[in-house]
Structure 1
Amino acid sequence: MTLIQPFIEYGFMRRALVACIALAVSATPLGVFLSLRRMSLMGDALSHAVLPGAAIGYLISGLSLVAMGIGGVIAGLAVALLSGAVSRFTPLKEDASLSGFYLGSLALGVTLVSLRGSSVDLLNVLFGSLLAVDNSALLLVGFIAVFTLFMLAVIFRPLVIDAFDPDFLRSQGKWGAPLVHGIFLLLVVMNLVAGFQVLGTLMSVGLMMLPATSARFWSRHLAWMLVIAMGLAIVSAFTGLTLSWYLSLPAGPAVVLSAAVLFFVSVLAGPCGGMLRRR
């Protein structure tokens, strides 16, 4: 009873938990597919890439969730498309071009926020303010979660094929593979924007990737990996928020740190390739 008491008594704790659960349900499946496609670092890069768009929305409309969200989506997609174009038309690999764009985007975003905002605003943008999630932010995160689950159901089969046999998907039609890849990137950027509203740009990718990579140590079946990843993310959210309440820790980093602890436990003791099981 003591563990759930803060969530019973305080509305801001309930809103924070619901926001994290919505992110867990929608973002972690995307993290599983990023991991399977060996694109894990792209999630981290895109989480930084949304910052200048969100900063421009902040300069125009202040702390408006709609303006910052739209700006973040546009900036994230622009960086993804530009890095893909550079890798296609130059000898530079996509990971190298993406690193150049996202580092520039991070610096630009921090500069733009600093022009008008205070150091507190900058900290909120970079690290989020999980316990300050209001109803409008909760509605935005919930909408993105529902839209993500619907689109994943629509493109699930070609997305699985693209993860395991991309050449076969390309052979089925000229526009099939690029369309699936484009929708997938859009969903990743939208969920990073949702995470940005809750956990900040530096932490939003943590809840997406850490449970996803942990799940690979507990099952080799895709369906179970998706379920386990979502479960680990929800456990991380509950544990992190509980620790933040009783130990006076920052909520967002506590949630991501809980996910990191579960990742290390999975690496050590996971039945599918864990270090102790191998020995």
Structure 2
Amino acid sequence: MTELWDLLVGPFVEFGFMRRALAGCLALSLGAAPVGVFLLLRRMSLTGDAMAHAILPGAAISYMIAGLSLPAMTAGGIISGLLVAMASTLVARSGRQSEDSSLAAFYLMSLSLGVVIVSTYGNQVDLLHVLFGSVLALDDDTLLLIGVISSITLLGLAVLYRPLVLECVDANLLPRRRAWGSVAHFGFMGLLVINLVAGFHALGTLMSIGLMVLPAAAARFWARTVNAMLVLSALLALVAGVAGLLLSYYFEWPTGPTIVLTLGLLYCVSLLLAPAGLLRRKNRPRRHYET
């Protein structure tokens, strides 16, 4: 029992960088995973993936100007993400093109521009840092930023909870109240962008969306209500974060991809074994509608 305890807890007790990484995973789980639930219920998972790449040029331009500066890269990523979100929304509302098509166009341009800038003005190490993050190198300032973003996210979701749920149930309910419909949409997109920026500092632009989509998708197989999905997705994200950190520590695997891969494993287990999964769903009696 002592050996198991040392195996699971020892790295976090012994090393400060492991404790900071654990704190970062906890904060990201509380903020990003609940956003992922609404992302999933609104059928915007691929939109989230596109937005994760849309923050890259802003962060890259900030890197070109100020180097690996936390405030500069945070501000650049948020501005870039919001600009792409607003541009794609305006194009979609003009009726010229669907939102997914316009978003795909803008995010592809953003991703290409960001990679060109980092590759031209940086080096291979900097490019890997931007794309895959460095969760084991989180400092106190980055942890504070992630904690503040998670707190803002929880407060924002509490304010927007009702309109977001209504829109998940039926997208035609909110347009009757146009003010709330616009507030809910742009408010949610803002929460999405700032959480992607928070995840960018820990997991990089390529991996940050995984901490949103995968725990929400796994929780969907176990939970039947939105509240249960919100809580369970955060718990799954935290469990995968701890497991990913330990696997990365003992096997010297890249930490961000290991955490996302652990989330993918939890998703596959849920897909097979959850009450709504592939294996158990066949054996469950089907419900019949009653009048």
Same fold (TM over 0.5): yes
Partner Cα distance (1:84, 1:182) in 2 = 9
Cα deviation for residue 175 of structure 1 reads: 1.4
Q: Which amino acid aligns with 2:278?
A: M
Task: Report the Cα distance in structure 2 between the residues aligned to 1:121 and 1:70, rounded to whole angstroms.
Answer: 18
1:220 Cα deviation from its structure 2 partner: 1.2
Which residue is equivalent to 2:289? Answer: none
CA deviations 1:97-156 (Å, max 9, x no partner) are 111111111110011112211110001000011111111110100010011111111111
2:252 pairs, out of 229, 248, 252, with 248
Other structure's SS at 2:209 match: helix
Shift of 1:205: 0.4
Structure 1: distance between partners of 2:226 and 2:95: 35
Quote how far apart the aligned CAs of 1:261 are: 0.3
Residue segments in structure 1 that go unaligned for 5+ positions in a row: none
Residues in 2 aligned to 1:152 and 1:89: alpha-carbon distance in whole angstroms: 28
Task: Kindly state the Cα deviation for residue 33 of structure 1 after the two structures are TM-superposed.
Answer: 0.3
Q: Residue 279 of structure 2 aligns with which residue?
A: 276
What value does the CA root-mean-square deviation take over the aligned residues? 1.0
Alpha-carbon distance, 1:179 to partner: 0.9
For the pair 1:191 / 2:195, whether they are aligned, the reply is: yes
State yes or no: 1:120 paired with 2:125: yes
Structure 1 residue 55, shift from structure 2 partner: 0.6
User: In structure 2, what is the equivalent of residue 68 of structure 1?
Assistant: 73
Identity of aligned residues (%): 54
Q: Which residue of 2 aligns with 1:262?
A: 266
Q: Residue 179 of structure 1 is aligned with which of 175, 178, 183?
A: 183
2:230 to 226, 229, 241: 226
1:278 CA displacement: 2.3
Structure 2 equivalent of residue 39 of structure 1: 44
Give the 3-state SS of the residue equivalent to 1:63 in structure 2.
coil
How far did 1:3 drift? 0.9
Aligned residues: 277
Per mean C-alpha deviation after superposition, the further-off stretch among 150-159 and 41-50 is: 150-159
TM-score, normalised by the number of residues in structure 1: 0.97
CA distance in 2, matches of 1:190, 1:174: 24
Shift of the alpha carbon at 1:91? 3.8
Output the TM-score relative to the length of structure 2.
0.93
Larger Rg: 2
Structure 1 segments of 4+ aligned residues over 4 angstroms from their partners: none
Residue 103 of structure 1: aligned partner: 108
- The residue identity in structure 2 corresponding to 1:22 is A
SS at match of 2:221: coil
Deviations 1:216-273 (A, max 9, x none): 000111111111101100000000000001111111111010000001111111112x
- SS of residue paired to 2:206: coil
- 1:90 deviates by 4.0
Give the 3-state SS of the residue equivalent to 1:28 in structure 2. helix
What is the distance in 2 between the residues matched to 1:222 and 1:80? Answer: 25
Aligned partner (choices 153, 158, 161) of residue 156 of structure 1: 161
Q: Aligned residue for 1:201? A: 205
